[in-house]
Structure 1
Amino acid sequence: MIGKLKGVVDSTGEDHLILDVHGVGYLVHCSGRTLQSLPREGEAAVLFIETHVREDQIRLFGFTSEGEREWFRLLQGIQGIGTKTALAVLSTLKPSDIAQAVALGDKAALARAPGVGPRVATRIVTELKDKMPSFASADPALARLAADVGAAEAAGGAAADAVSALVNLGYAMPQAHAAIAAAARGAGEGATAETLIRLGLRELAK
């Protein structure tokens, strides 16, 4: 199985590109957001690959990060979502925005993606709330701020609620501590738990 490709962008289409790897052109399907982030034709690019093998074909899907690829896999585990819809979601929302929408139950944000109606958006929130990606991790430098949140958690309040929410979503306690510490530092005093969760998820999705 192909897990990663490094090559030169040969050409791009509406939903794919040709990546030249030592003279072999790989057709790789991508989200619109990924295609927009790629370098120009003739320049080097690296893509994390999800390989789908079927009886009559092999299809490659490319992503700029392992996190984006993991969301692609998670989304396809939901009834009514195939590769086309999963790419549509990733074209419409950044991974951090998907995580935020799932955490806050924001079905309207998910329904903005082509092919995702209210029912499918509800399934995404319901089924992924307990399966939030465990691959995300906070910047190691943020770990120094964990003590601040630990004190806030002991005293209760919005920070404690936010840390608890991230832990319930599947993140490790150190990750949750560090992310909410960074969020609290940026949001300032008086920030609500909802605000801290939003900012914390953005930190975890970086």
Structure 2
Amino acid sequence: MIGRIQGVLLENKAPDLLIDVNGIGYEVQAPLSTAFALPKVGEKVVLITHLAVREDAHVLYGFATENERMLFRTLVKISGVGPKLALAILSGMETQRFVQSIQDQDPAALTKIPGVGKKTAERLIVEMKDKLNALGSAGAMLMSPFGDLTPAEDRVDHLQDAESALIALGYKPALAAKAIAKVAADGMTSEEIIRNALKSM
């Protein structure tokens, strides 16, 4: 298993990253919370990773925090939740808020995440609650703060980044642009725009 990767960020086209490690370019999939917390292209990055081995591919997933990876690994063990949906969940809702929604048994909050319907939300509440209890103290860590994750500064175009990210999550370009125009304000980071746009949909 590859549990950690350190190298130079070559591309950041959330959720797709390309990281150079001693001359080898690793393609990494990351949630938006991680992608927008990374430094600028050309700078060094360190990610906690999870390697998923399938018959047709080996896919590397990267996370800024152990909490994100822990939640990702817990989610993919749930029936009907694959890595793609797990990334969408991490991208659409902060770890603390997601766990709180599970504890509060609030399917309405979960259905705001792209790709999560009513039945999936109900299944997440039932199965995640059991899994969080089984994790014990480790599960309690998921309620701790993310830490000071600051989105990369001086983005050429925060609005364009946010729109591209929403499209990558499965939204149609017109809907993504409309949602962003509705919530965007001066001084907002790409991540803030994305989260507010997701809430407004």
Q: What is the CA–CA distance in structure 2 between the aligned matches of 1:106 and 1:68, rounded to whole Å?
A: 20
Provide the residue aligned with 1:77 in structure 2.
77
Q: Match of 2:16?
A: 16
* Counterpart for residue 43 of structure 2: 43
Mapping of residues 24-173 of structure 1, within 5 Å? 24-132=24-132, 133-134=135-136, 136=138, 171=140
CA contact (8 A) 2:32 2:91 kept: yes
Indicate conservation of the 8 Å contact 1:67/1:135, yes or no: no
Q: Which residue of 2 aligns with 1:2?
A: 2
CA contact (8 A) 1:6 1:21 kept: yes
Q: Is contact 2:14–2:31 with CA below 8 Å preserved after alignment?
A: no
Tell me the alpha carbon deviations over residues 33-87 of structure 1, each in whole angstroms, 9 at most, x when there is no partner: 2111111101111111110112221110001111101111111122221111110
Q: Match of 2:51, as an amino acid?
A: T
Q: Which has the larger radius of gyration?
A: 1
Distance 1:205 1:12 in 2: 21
Higher percent of residues as helix: 1
Inter-partner Cα distance in structure 2 for 1:204 and 1:42: 28
The offset of 1:205, in angstroms, is 6.4
Structure 1 unaligned spans of 5+: 137-169, 176-200
Q: Distance in 2 between matches of 1:135 and 1:3?
A: 21
CA deviation string 1:83-125 (max 9, x = no partner): 1111000001111111111111111111111110011011111
Q: Calculate the TM-score normalised by the size of structure 2.
A: 0.66
TM-score (norm 1): 0.65
Aligned mates of 2:63, 2:87 — CA distance in 1: 10
Q: CA RMSD in A?
A: 2.0
Which residue of 2 is the match for residue 157 of structure 1? none
Deviation at 1:10, TM superposition (A): 0.7
- Higher RCO (Cα < 8 Å, 6 or more apart): 2
Q: Which runs of 4+ in 1 moved over 2 A?
A: 133-136, 201-206
Percent identity between the aligned chains?
Answer: 41
